[in-house]
Amino acid sequence: DQQVKQNSPSLSVQEGRISILNCDYTNSMFDYFLWYKKYPAEGPTFLISISSIKDKNEDGRFTVFLNKSAKHLSLHIVPSQPGDSAVYFCAATLNSGGSNYKLTFGKGTLLTVNP
Amino acid sequence: SQTIHQWPATLVQPVGSPLSLECTVEGTSNPNLYWYRQAAGRGLQLLFYSVGIGQISSEVPQNLSASRPQDRQFILSSKKLLLSDSGFYLCAWSVLGVQFFGPGTRLTVL
């Protein structure tokens, strides 16, 4: 059972436009959500996170929105830059569920930003 | 600042050979440590995690094992590699719910 789903395997946008990456989850117990960016042959890099007590968190060009009723979150990148081209992973965890902080990852979305 | 190291960066091994991948973390004490595998075209699969020295939890039954002989050292091992063990192996450590990943090891089993 895939508890975190990224239904779009790929997304292509023009430089300067908005990129919107989507993620759905099924486990209503998840209370902390993260986005990671991954270049080929490198480890994922943490981008931004959001707690379930919030519906929006912003950090520079990156904004994450959380809709708990829909069990949906999205990552907005504005404006998109060619260097943003990478695989983006959505992850969720039970932050209040103990000290192990296991993350459940989606399968990723490949973002391509065209110059 | 904290840094995480993995080695080797790439490895090509024959089927049936042993495996040892090492991960070390600097700049933090008593971190939670994790091993993930990313198979071709797939997401990140958690293999093992550890909340302290000698404490290992396995997430999936498999041909691999993990050990944590020191506070900031995490080792992934196998006695006999299978073709299906090929993939990109990632070590991570966490603080306050956020996991930080190492550079990864590309393992090819032939």
Summarised one tens digit per residue, pLDDT across range A39-94 is: 988 999 999 999 999 999 999 999 999 999 999 999 999 999 999 999 999 999 88
- All domains in chain B, ordered by first residue: 3-109 (2.60.40.10)
- Chain B residues contacting A via beta carbons under 8 Å: 32, 34, 42-44, 46, 49, 51, 57, 59, 88, 90, 92, 94, 96-104, 106
Domain A4-114 has CATH 2.60.40.10: yes
C-alpha separations of A94 from A65, B78, B95 in Å = 18, 30, 14
Residue A2: what pLDDT?
80
Contact residues for B73 (Cβ-Cβ < 8 A; gap 6+)? B22, B23, B24
CA nearest B87: which of B54, B59, B64, B70?
A: B64
Q: Predicted confidence band at B96 (pLDDT cuts at 50, 70, 90)?
A: confident
Asked if B36 contacts B49 with a C-beta cutoff of 8 angstroms, the reply is no
Residue A100: what pLDDT?
57
Task: Provide the token pair at A23.
Answer: 């993620």
Nearest-angstrom CA–CA distance, A82 and A113: 5
Residue with tokens 């956020």: B98
CB contact under 8 A, B32 and A100: yes
Contact residues for A28 (Cβ-Cβ < 8 A; gap 6+)? A71
- Which of A5, A100, A104 best probes binding to B when mutated, by most B CB atoms within 10 angstroms? A100
- Which of B43, B92, B101 faces A106 most closely, judged by CB atoms? B43
CB contact under 8 A, B97 and A44: no
Q: State the count of interchain CB pairs (< 8 A) between A and B.
A: 53
Residue A99: what pLDDT?
55
A95: left (phi over 0), alpha (psi -120 to 50) or beta: alpha
CB contact under 8 A, A99 and B32: yes
Tell me which range, A67-81, A98-112, B85-99, is most confidently predicted by mean pLDDT.
A67-81
